[in-house]
Structure 1
Amino acid sequence: MAYYGKLKVMWDELVNCEPISTCRFGGCKCSITAKLEKKREENRVRQFLMGFDDVIYRIIHSNILSINSLSSLNRVYAIIIQEELHREIDQDSEERGDVVGFATQANYGARVVAATARPNDKIVICTNCGKPGHEVNECFKITGYPYSWRDGP
């Protein structure tokens, strides 16, 4: 959005500096102004698409450019925004998957943990350290930490 905003400001300034010429002949039916405006719009679409990373946006870039008559700039912008939203959703779901994986690894050694307990399970809490997942006779603070647990949990 920021990139499009910067381009839009520059394009607006260019329109002020270089307005599209109109036909000087009264009653002319050549529609040169509409043709020049369409050409300017196509150039803007190309400029807009050229600013994106080829590695990430190669497919969407080629799909848009493969259309015989280029879409309007607003339509191309909407397509890119939609693609960005899909990428964000995909990235968020991947990150959530990693977090769930880490949580599973963290709870691996516990027998019964409050966060993973089912409603009918009894939550066991150590009377020595007050942490869930073990009883006092299995508390590492009493029995000692395993060799692999050098620096504590």
Structure 2
Amino acid sequence: MLIALSVKNKIGFIDGSIAQPDSSDPVLLNSWHRNNNIVISWILNSVSKEISASIIFAESAALIWLDLKDRFQQSNGPRIFQLRRELINLAQEQLSVSHYFTKLKGLWDELSNFRPNCTCGKCTCGGVKELTAHHQMEYVMAFLMGLNDTYAQIRGQLLLLDPLPPINKVFSLISQEERQRTIGPQSTNNSQTMAFAVKGDSKRKNVATTAMKQSRGSRRDNNNRPFCTECHIHGHTVDTCYKIHGYPPGYQRAKSIE
């Protein structure tokens, strides 16, 4: 609601800085009533019907805002305790680096709103700058502590730096490491697949080459051996063919397969 009112330049109607003018200037008074009623209508539309029934008769938006603040504003202690406990228990686990950092940033930014800040602009000792640097160092530490142990190497390298890089730079480096790990195994598998393919092709080529050489050698050997024109078998000629001249005593013929 504060963001919406600030955009419309109506914060002064709820914090009382734009007070109701006197009746001496009717034009200004009418303008104030018109803007005050606009803010009241926005507030009524933003709360439940049960709450709006209890504030509808208020005279100004400032009174309505003060009433709601007194009734519903909670103390900061329980919320700070809850935020710190969530930060301590937050870990990456199965989350991606981006998702883990987003959750951490939401908790850290909300917790930072409860920290007191020096806004006077008159500090000359440099203490505010040192406090801001220490706050950022704690931010980086909280992020690195919640990372998985698989990032132990790059986490150790970052902790050796003095001073530590800003949180956005640390997040960028960890994200690059995560993307590099996603790309690395895939390229390795592709290289192994290509190596196996080349090795398989070479093996098949060697087998084919060996078979061709054996076939050529067999043909050359058969061409050099004698050939019988009667039984069409290599190893003898027609002059010594058993089928023509008879088998020697004690020769055992091979049994024919029926």
Q: Which TM bucket (shorter chain)?
A: 0.5 to 0.7
Aligned twin of 1:90: 184
Write the distance in 2 (CA, Å) between the matches of 1:47 and 1:23: 26
Question: What stretches of structure 1 of length at least 5 have no aligned partner?
Answer: 112-153
Change (3 A) 1:109 1:4: same
Q: Measure, in 2, the Cα distance between the counterparts of 1:76 and 1:100.
A: 36
Any idea what SS the aligned residue of 2:118 has?
A: coil
Work out whether 1:8 is the aligned partner of 2:105: yes
Residues 1:37 and 2:132 aligned together = yes
**Off by >6 Å, runs of 4+ in structure 1:** 101-111
CA distance in structure 2 between the partners assigned to 1:62 and 1:109 by the alignment? 47
- What residue identity is the alignment partner of 1:53? N
What RMSD over aligned residues (CA atoms) do the two structures have, in Å?
2.6
Percent identity of paired positions between Structure 1 and Structure 2: 31
Corresponding residue for 1:66? 160
1:21 to 117, 120, 133: 117
SS where residue 7 of structure 1 aligns? helix
TM-score norm. by structure 2 comes to 0.36
Larger of the two Rg values belongs to structure: 2
| TM-score under structure 1 length normalisation | 0.58
Change over 3 Å in CA distance of 1:108–1:28 after alignment to 2: closer
Partner of 1:19: helix, strand, or coil? coil
Q: Could you tell me which amino acid in structure 1 is paired with residue 104 of structure 2?
A: L
Task: Indicate if the aligned counterparts of 1:23 and 1:33 stay in contact, CA closer than 8 A.
Answer: no
How does 1:73-84 map onto structure 2 within 5 Å? 73-84=167-178
Distance 1:95 1:61, change over 3 A: same
Shift of 1:99: 4.6
- Which structure has the highest helix share of the two? 2
Question: What amino acid is aligned across from residue 78 of structure 1 in structure 2?
Answer: S
Q: Say how many residue pairs are matched.
A: 108
Taking a change above 3 Å as real, the CA distance of residues 62 and 89 of structure 1, as seen in their structure-2 partners, is same
* Distance (Å, rounded) in 2 between the aligned partners of 1:95 and 1:20: 54
TM-superposed CA distance for 1:34, in Å, is: 2.0
CA distance in 1, matches of 2:181, 2:174: 10
CA distance in 1, matches of 2:144, 2:160: 13
Once the two structures are superposed, residues 9-63 of structure 1 have per-residue CA deviations (whole angstroms, 9 ceiling, x without a partner) of 11111112x2343176x74312332222111110111111111222x21211111
Amino acid of the residue matched to residue 22 of structure 1? C
